[in-house]
Amino acid sequence: MRGLSTKSDFSLFLGCLIPNRLPEIEKSTRLVCERLGINLHDMKGASCCPAPGVMKSFDKALWLKIAGRNLDIAANMGMDIITLCNGCYGTLKDASMELKDDPELQEVVRASLSTIDRDLGKIVDVYHFVEYLYFDYGLDDLSDHITKKLDYKVAAHYGCHLLKPIKYRRTKDFDAPTFFDELIELTGSTSVDYVEKNTCCGAGGGLRSGLKDVALDIARKKVASIKDANMIVTPCPFCHMQLAQVSNIPVVYYSQLLALSMGFSEEEVGMAVGK
Amino acid sequence: MNKDVRSCMKCGSCTASCPSGRVVAFRTRKLVEDRAIGEIDYDDLSLWYCTTCFNCMERCPRGIDITDEILKIREEAYRKGKVLEPHRAVLRYIYRSGHAVPINPEVREKRMALGLSELPPTTHTFEEALLEVRRIMEDEGIEYKE
C-alpha cells in the first residue's frame, strides 16, 4: 500500500557511496527516472543513513536517531523515500518499520530530534529503487520505455538487505527470489545462474571496513562461481564496490543497464568513467 | 515461537548458513550457545566476522533473532571500549562530514564530468545540517574535535 507520496514523486536518498564514490549510479538513475516520469526530489541536508554495519553495531539508539533525522527530512517534503543502496535501504526501511511498530521507541527518537528542532513527522515509507520498479511501477509500464534490446549475459547479485530481514520486506522468498532477474531480463539480457548467486558479497556488517581480507575472501568465492557471464549487475553500491575489486568482468548498477536499454550511451551513464 | 537464545537446539543451521563461517573459524552456533550461558568473550575478534546477512536468523528453526542478538553483543562490546580502529574511524567520518564515506577531490571531478553538482545536496553542501548530525552524536557522548 502506498504511503504519503503523490503518484510519482519521491525523496531521493543518496547515502554516501553513490554521491561520494560512484556518482555514475546517481547520474544513470536520474536519467532513467526522468524518462520514466518518476520525479526524484533532493533531500537537502541528508546525511549518512547511518551505516548499519558500524552504527547499529555500536549504538542502536544513535542509529535510530540519525535515521530518524533523515526520515524527518522526507516527512517535511511530504514524500516517501527511494534509496539506491541496500545498506541505506536496510537502515531507513528497518528504522521506519521499527518506529511505526513501537511508540516508545518513537518517543525516544522524537525527544532526541527535538534538540535540533525536528520531530519525525508522519513516518514515511521507504522503497528500494528496484523494488519500486518491480512491485509498483510494474514491468508492463517499464517495458514501454525499452527501445534497445541488449543481449548481455548477466550474473545477477541481489545483496542481502534488499531481501532480509523478511519481516520488513515485501518478498518473503530470500532463497530463490526472481524479481531482480526479471528486471534484468526486461532489457533483453539473460540472467545466468551460478552456484553462489544468493551468497552475501561479504562487505556488510562492518566486515569490509574492519577486516577486509576476510570480506574479500567471501567475495572471491562468490565471483569464482560465475562461469558464463559478461557482467555482474547489482542494486547496491557497496556490493558493487566489493565485487568490482575481485571481479574480472565489469560490475554494473541496474540503472546503468536499464539506461542502456533505453538508448542512452555508455558515456551518458558513466560506464566510461568508472568501472 | 520462543525467541530466547536458550531455546537453541544446536542444530547448526546458523553456522551452515554463514558466509563468514566458510572462510574463517566463525561459529555462529557457538556464539548463540555462549550467549545462552552468559559467557561472551568480548575480546574475541569473531564477534566482528558477521556480515549481518541475516541468513542464520531467517533459517533458525527456533525463530531466534540471531543477527539482532549479535548486534546486541557488539553494542555491549562497544560500551566496554572493545572496538576495531577502522570502525571508530567510520564514526569519526560521520561526525566530521555527515558521511561514513566523505567525498574526495577525484570524485568531485568525476561528478562534474558527469554533469552532476560538484558536491551532493547533503551535509556536504549544508553546514547547518552537519551541525544537526553532530548535535545528535554529542548528545550520545560522541565528539571528535578536528
Q: Which domains does chain A have, with CATH numbers?
A: 9-129 (1.20.1050.140), 139-261 (3.40.50)
**Mutation to test the A interface, candidates B94, B112, B135, most A Cβ within 10 Å:** B94
How many Cα neighbours within 13 Å face the side chain of A229?
26
Cβ contact B136–A69 (<8 Å): yes
Report yes or no: A75 and A124 within 8 Å, Cβ to Cβ: yes
d(CA A55, CA A51): 6
B144 domain residue, yes or no: no
Residue B49 CA, chain-centre distance (Å), reads 10
Cβ contact A165–B57 (<8 Å): yes
Percent of chain B with pLDDT over 90: 93
Residue B48 has its nearest CB partner, among A62, A206, A274, at A206
d(CA B28, CA B20): 10
How many interface pairs between A and B have CB atoms less than 8 angstroms apart?
203
Tell me how many domains chain B contains: 2
Residue A7's pLDDT is 63
**Which secondary-structure segment (H or E) carries A83?**
strand A81-83
Cβ contact B135–A116 (<8 Å): yes
Cβ contact B50–A165 (<8 Å): no
Instruction: Select from A179, A154, A180 the least CA-distant residue to A249.
Output: A154
Q: Using CA coordinates, name the residue in chain B closest to A56.
A: B71
B66 in the same domain as B97: no
Report yes or no: B91 and A54 within 8 Å, Cβ to Cβ: yes
B145 domain residue, yes or no: no
B10 in the same domain as B59: yes
Residue A4's pLDDT is 46
Cβ contact A164–B57 (<8 Å): yes
Contacts of A56 in chain B (CB under 8 A): 52, 71
B91 in the same domain as B63: no
Q: DSSP letter string over B1-25?
A: ----GGG-----HHHHH-TTTTTS-
Last residue within a domain, chosen from B54, B79, B104 = B79
Residue B146's pLDDT is 66
Q: How many CB atoms lie within 10 A of CB B27?
A: 18
B57 domain residue, yes or no: yes
B68 in the same domain as B124: no
B89 in the same domain as B73: no
Residue A246's pLDDT is 98
B45 in the same domain as B28: yes
The amino acid at residue B83 is: V
Last residue within a domain, chosen from B29, B48, B79 = B79
B9 domain residue, yes or no: yes
Q: What is the pLDDT along chain A (275 residues), one digit of tens a residue?
A: 344 444 699 999 999 999 999 999 999 999 999 999 999 999 999 999 999 999 999 999 999 999 999 999 999 999 999 999 999 999 999 999 999 999 999 999 999 999 999 999 899 999 999 999 999 999 999 999 999 999 999 999 999 999 999 999 999 999 999 999 999 999 999 999 999 999 999 999 999 999 999 999 999 999 999 999 999 999 999 999 999 999 999 999 999 999 999 999 999 999 864 44
Cβ contact B23–A166 (<8 Å): no
Q: Is B98 exposed, middle or buried (0-12, 13-18, 19+ CB in 10 A)?
A: buried
More confident call, A6 vs B59: B59
B40 domain residue, yes or no: yes
Contacts of B63 in chain A (CB under 8 A): none
Residue B114 has its nearest CB partner, among A23, A47, A90, at A23
B73 in the same domain as B14: yes
Cβ contact A19–B53 (<8 Å): no
Cβ contact B48–A26 (<8 Å): no
Q: DSSP letter string over A142-188?
A: HHTT--S----EEEE---STTT-SGGG-S----SS--HHHHHHHTTT
Cβ contact A115–B114 (<8 Å): no
Q: Using CA coordinates, name the residue in chain A closest to B121.
A: A44
In which domain, by residue range, is B59 found? 5-79
Cβ contact B49–A214 (<8 Å): yes
Residue A210 has its nearest CB partner, among B55, B87, B137, at B87
Report yes or no: A215 and A181 within 8 Å, Cβ to Cβ: no
Last residue within a domain, chosen from B36, B56, B79 = B79
B113 in the same domain as B54: no
**Mutation to test the B interface, candidates A28, A58, A113, A264, most B Cβ within 10 Å:** A58
Contacts of A21 in chain B (CB under 8 A): 101, 107
Cβ contact A58–B78 (<8 Å): yes
B10 in the same domain as B62: yes
Question: In Å, what is the CA distance from A214 to each residue of A84, A204, A246, B50, B116?
Answer: 26, 11, 13, 10, 35
Residue A109 CA, chain-centre distance (Å), reads 24
d(CA A27, CA A259): 10
ipTM of the predicted structure?
Answer: 0.96
- The C-alpha of B78 sits at a distance from chain A's nearest C-alpha, in angstroms, of 5
B146 domain residue, yes or no: no
Residue B3's pLDDT is 80
Residue B144's pLDDT is 86
Q: Which three cell numbers stand for residue A90?
A: 536496510
Residue A57 has its nearest CB partner, among B78, B100, B116, at B78
Which one-letter DSSP state was computed for residue A13? E
The radius of gyration of chain B from alpha carbons, rounded to an integer in Å, stands at 20
B27 domain residue, yes or no: yes
B65 in the same domain as B46: yes
B49 domain residue, yes or no: yes
Q: Using CA coordinates, name the residue in chain A closest to B105.
A: A20
B55 in the same domain as B110: no
B102 in the same domain as B45: no
Contacts of B116 in chain A (CB under 8 A): 19, 23, 26-27
Through-space distance between the first and last CA atoms of chain A, rounded to whole angstroms = 37
